[in-house]
């Protein structure tokens, strides 16, 4: 059964794996939050020992950068704060960015004449490249959460 990081996965008989958990932090919807969020997620993944290959980590960090950038550029007026969440289960790692802006973005097709507007398209492609998924959901408060989940493909089992 594929749950894409959205619920409990089967656990080993001796309990959760040492890298499993959910971490959430908030940041101001300003440009400086983009690299701060990327570094915080990178440090968390390494500190927890999440079994990802380096290319997966780079993909996740690109996703975080794109999602936080979108929140800063498009939601800051109505949502001066954003939240970044990292959820790691036995089989999936999920990153999400939440803001209080009600607009639900869509991935735009690439227009070679424009220099922007491809962030969600890029997020979708990076997730798909690793066998993952991404989506946008509304929150109970009227905002939205944009998330991407990648399967864990450890190079070796710790």
**Among 6-10, 85-89, 100-104, 142-146, which is the least confidently predicted range?**
6-10
Note the helical H segments in 8-80: 33-48, 54-75
pTM of the shown model:
0.82
Nearest to residue 36, comparing CAs of 94, 109, 97? Answer: 97
pLDDT digits (tens, 9 = 90+) for 110-137: 555 555 557 888 999 999 999 999 999 9
Which residues, 6 or more positions from 92, have their beta carbon under 8 angstroms from its beta carbon? 3, 4, 5, 9, 132, 149, 150, 151, 152
Provide the sign of the torsion angle of the four alpha carbons 140, 23, 117, 107, taken in this order. negative
* Measured distance between the N- and C-terminal CA atoms of the chain, rounded to whole angstroms: 24
């Amino acid at each position: 059964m594929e749950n894409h990081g959205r619920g409990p996965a089967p656990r080993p008989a001796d309990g959760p794996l040492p890298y499993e958990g959910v971490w959430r932090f908030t940041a101001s919807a300003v440009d400086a939050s983009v690299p701060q969020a990327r570094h915080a997620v990178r440090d968390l993944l390494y500190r927890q020992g999440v079994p990802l290959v380096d290319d997966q980590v780079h993909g996740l960090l690109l996703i975080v950068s794109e999602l936080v950038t979108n929140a800063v550029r498009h939601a800051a007026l109505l949502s001066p704060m954003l939240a970044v969440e990292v959820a790691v289960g036995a089989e999936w790692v999920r990153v999400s960015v939440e803001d209080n802006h009600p607009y639900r973005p869509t991935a735009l097709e690439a227009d070679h004449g424009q220099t922007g507007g491809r962030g969600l398209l890029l997020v979708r492609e990076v997730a798909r490249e690793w066998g993952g998924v991404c989506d946008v959901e509304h929150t109970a408060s009227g905002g939205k959460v944009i998330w991407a989940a990648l399967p864990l493909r450890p190079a070796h089992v710790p």
